[in-house]
């Protein structure tokens, strides 16, 4: 019964994540969904800025704090290791749904690309960004990243083993292709409103800060192996090489 509950819980958390991820595409792109970045709760400009920043802050704090090794060591005193990742994924998804629900619209137009080829190019970039995020998860281990591998191993009464660190596909070009995909998707829009600009600017700032924390964790966990990888492969901008050993290590970071 415990094994069934464990794998069922992991599956439910994964389904909630899928819903949050798909909704995010519609939310940022103003596509299909009832509440989007330019079709949220109406409010004055001051209220909109305060509420939207707080909503983004709730997600940022939850997403980063719960990903830190020190928090995980404390957290797993109360939550079994087998469902720790699934619980993290669930809470991150719920924080996103809160943001979708309470986002305040800021409709002032910052730019509007009216040239049709330009609009098409920006929509293509938007799609490319989300595709990079999705396929980037499979370039490492999608099912481990979102907790399914952990609950599956628990259901089979097998111990969890850490994944081998290896560089594959886009991870040979940049160290954090998932985050690069998010940045592209958030900024690639033919019509940029004040609300969309706030969302893109704050999330980009958060990504840049969160990556510094993650890099510290990876350096601590993997030592010289990760430092060699870091010297060889740029963080976010392809081709922006650091000085250092360019010999390819055998490795793959798991994003927080």
Distances (CA, A) of 123 to 40, 119, 197: 21, 6, 16
234 within a domain of the structure (yes/no):
no
Domain limits at 214?
3-162+178-222
- The DSSP line for 182-237 is HHHHHH--SEEEHHHHHHHHHHHHHHHHHHHHHHHHHHHHHTHHHHHHHHHS-SSS
Q: How many domains does the chain have?
A: 1
Distance of alpha carbon 248 from alpha carbon 170, whole angstroms: 14
243 lies in some domain: no
pLDDT classification of 117: cutoffs 50, 70, 90: very high
Cβ–Cβ < 8 Å for 237, 179: no
In a domain, 235, yes or no: no
Identify whether 250 is part of a domain: no
Tokens in use for 199? Answer: 């969302």
Residue 244, pLDDT > 50, answer: no
Q: Is residue 105 part of a domain?
A: yes
Please check whether residue 247 lies inside any domain of the structure: no
Q: pLDDT by residue (tens digit) across 188-208?
A: 999 999 999 999 999 999 999
Q: Whole-prediction pTM value? A: 0.85
In a domain, 231, yes or no: no
């Amino acid at each position: 019964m415990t094994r069934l509950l464990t794998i069922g819980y992991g599956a439910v958390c994964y389904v909630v994540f899928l819903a949050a991820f798909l909704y995010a595409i519609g939310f940022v792109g103003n596509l299909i969904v009832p509440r989007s970045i330019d079709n949220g709760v109406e409010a004055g400009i001051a209220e909109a800025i305060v509420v939207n920043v707080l909503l983004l802050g709730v997600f940022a704090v939850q997403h980063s704090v719960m990903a830190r090794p020190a928090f995980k060591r404390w957290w797993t005193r109360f939550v079994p290791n087998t469902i720790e990742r699934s619980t993290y994924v669930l809470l991150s998804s719920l924080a996103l749904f809160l943001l979708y629900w309470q986002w305040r619209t800021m409709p002032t137009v910052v730019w509007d690309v009216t040239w049709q080829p330009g609009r098409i190019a920006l929509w293509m970039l938007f799609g490319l960004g989300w595709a990079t995020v999705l396929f980037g998860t499979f370039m490492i281990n999608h099912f481990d990243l979102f907790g399914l591998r952990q609950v599956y191993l628990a259901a089979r009464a097998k111990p969890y083993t850490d994944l081998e660190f290896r560089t594959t596909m886009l991870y040979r070009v940049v160290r954090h292709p998932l985050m690069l995909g998010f940045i592209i998707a958030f900024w690639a829009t033919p019509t940029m409103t004040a609300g969309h600009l706030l969302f893109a600017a704050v999330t980009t700032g958060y990504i840049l800060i969160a990556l510094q924390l993650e890099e510290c964790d990876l350096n601590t966990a993997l030592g010289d192996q990760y430092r060699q990888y870091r010297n060889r492969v740029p963080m976010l901008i392809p081709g922006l090489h650091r000085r250092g050993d360019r010999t390819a290590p055998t490795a793959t970071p798991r994003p927080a």
